[in-house]
Amino acid sequence: MSINHAIQNVFARSKTIFLLHFAGGNCYSFKFLTDHLPGHKVIVLELPARGRRMTEPLIRTADKAVRDLLDQFLKHNIRRDFVIYGHSLGATLGLLLTRELESRQIFPDQLIVTGSCGPYPEKVSKRRHELSSPDFKQMLKDLGGISEEVLDQKELFEYFEPIIRADFELLEHENIVLPYPVKTPVHALMGHDEDDQEHIENWRSLTGGTCVLERWPGEHFFIYDHVERLASLIRDYATARMVNM
């Protein structure tokens, strides 16, 4: 085949994008982002007790959460040409899900994580899920990302508080340690003003693949301030340039 013929057969192939929500999130939490991902198949993996699964019981340990996410993933019967993106809680669960997929010889093309430095042995859990209700609410206000309506209306907060606490408990129940790095390449982003942003280098120890690290302006939910920029990054990873030789 001539070079010109080969060039003519270059085409873009869209990959599936799996999204993993943050603590207190649900299947609707990425609406702000999915509107910027036209033409891609986007699947939000959702933990129980919220969104479309609000009648199911809460999960409080990382192991059970990952098994739940794995079951959801496998039902889609996708074994290649996909990327995973998770924010905060979703970043850590995305890493643990990637490990489980790789053990089944299923390899994401890319793991994109934001708002997390990932698990590491020296990390000390803050036990935020054990805070008193007023302190827990203040912590959420400081962290950002939860609407003022939820925080300020008593009935709404009483509904969401157990869900958000359980999500924090997933990460704080015990120190999560990855026994070996994943093979999937990682692109990690954190906000300049996040408390743990100085530990972003930890992601290099969590993958044997390439690892790109960035800090963007903002705090923990900096993703809301850079929607198109984040969507563009995800789109780049979710579009494979293939040559039909």
Q: How far apart, in whole angstroms, are the C-alpha atoms of residue 58 and residue 65?
A: 10
Tokens encoding 54 = 């609000």
pTM of the model: 0.89
Mean pLDDT score, 60-67: 95
Q: pLDDT band for position 177 (50/70/90)?
A: confident
Non-local (6+) Cβ contacts of 66 within 8 A are 93, 96, 97, 100
What separation, in Å, do the N-terminal and C-terminal C-alpha atoms of the chain show? Answer: 7
Round the average pLDDT of the chain to a whole number and report it. 89
Q: What is the pLDDT of residue 7?
A: 38
Q: Under a CB-based contact definition with an 8 Å cutoff, are residues 26 and 50 in contact?
A: yes
Q: Is 12 helix (H, G, I), strand (E, B) or coil?
A: strand
Q: Under a CB-based contact definition with an 8 Å cutoff, are residues 114 and 230 in contact?
A: yes
Identify the structural domains of the chain with CATH numbers, from first to last: 3-122+180-243 (3.40.50.1820)
| Ramachandran angles phi, psi of 63, nearest 5° | -60, -45
Look at strands 82-87 and 42-45 and give their pairing: unpaired
Q: How far apart, in whole angstroms, are the C-alpha atoms of residue 207 and residue 200?
A: 13
Q: Flag whether pLDDT at 32 surpasses 90.
A: yes
Q: Which residue has the tokens 């643990």?
A: 96
| Ramachandran angles phi, psi of 198, nearest 5° | -70, -15
Tokens encoding 208 = 């044997």
| Closest residue by Cα to residue 235 from 96, 7, 33, 27 | 33
